[in-house]
Amino acid sequence: MVNTSEQAALDVYEFLQRFFIMFPKYATLDLHLFSESYGGHYEITAYLINTVNKCYQTNTTHDCVAANITCWEGYNGIYTQNSDAGLYDIRTKNDLPVPTYTKYLENPIVLKSIGVNTTAISKYLEFNEAIYFRFTDSGDLLGGNEMAESLKWKRRKEFNNAVFQEWTVGGVK
């Protein structure tokens, strides 16, 4: 149950993110919020937005790590502490581990074929906090898509011009 301005701000921030995904034509326009009474409590939302924007503007490790921590804590609070919604698909119950590929990646033959030192690593992990924090502490967290778009290969132009689409596999989106 939401009972603080900070919690409400996280919900508003999540709503705005989804709104701009569904209605991208509004994403480049100025945002004007209107409310009455308690509605003046938008400082947390502004802080989240400004933190992320600062990362994109400065592209420094310090600013991007700060943005990641701010957003991850908000995300964690919304999804993992207050519900059992899946991290990868919020329409499902907690979806960790993802059974389809987890079982596949636990197969010793698969591990060996992709070059895993099975003496050092005997089991596939969905999420490894130590590795995650090495990436986030270095600021390497917002550029996955940009990195993929900058790869030099023969289908780069087609890849970069492709539109994100929902995938349906076995009748499941």
Taking only the tens place, the pLDDT of each residue in 3-18 is: 566 777 788 888 888 8
What's the pLDDT band for 37 if we cut at 50, 70, 90? Answer: very low
Interatomic CA distance for residues 63 and 79, integer angstroms: 24
Tens of pLDDT, residue by residue over 99-144, are 677 778 888 888 888 778 888 777 777 667 776 676 666 665 555 6
Interatomic CA distance for residues 60 and 65, integer angstroms: 8
Query: Does 158 score more than 90 pLDDT?
Result: yes
Amino acid (one-letter) located at 115: G
What is the value of pTM for the model shown?
Answer: 0.32
Q: What is the full DSSP assignment across 41-103? A: --HHHHHHHHHHHHHHHH--HHHHHHHHHHHHHHHIIIIIIS--B-SS-TTSB---S-HHHHH
Nearest Cα neighbor of 73 from 17, 153, 131, 9 is: 9
Determine the pLDDT at residue 42: 52
Nearest Cα neighbor of 142 from 55, 21, 81 is: 55
Interatomic CA distance for residues 169 and 173, integer angstroms: 6
Q: Which residues contact 153 (CB under 8 A, 6 or more apart)?
A: 159
Averaged confidence pLDDT in the chain: 73
Determine the pLDDT at residue 124: 72
Amino acid (one-letter) located at 153: W
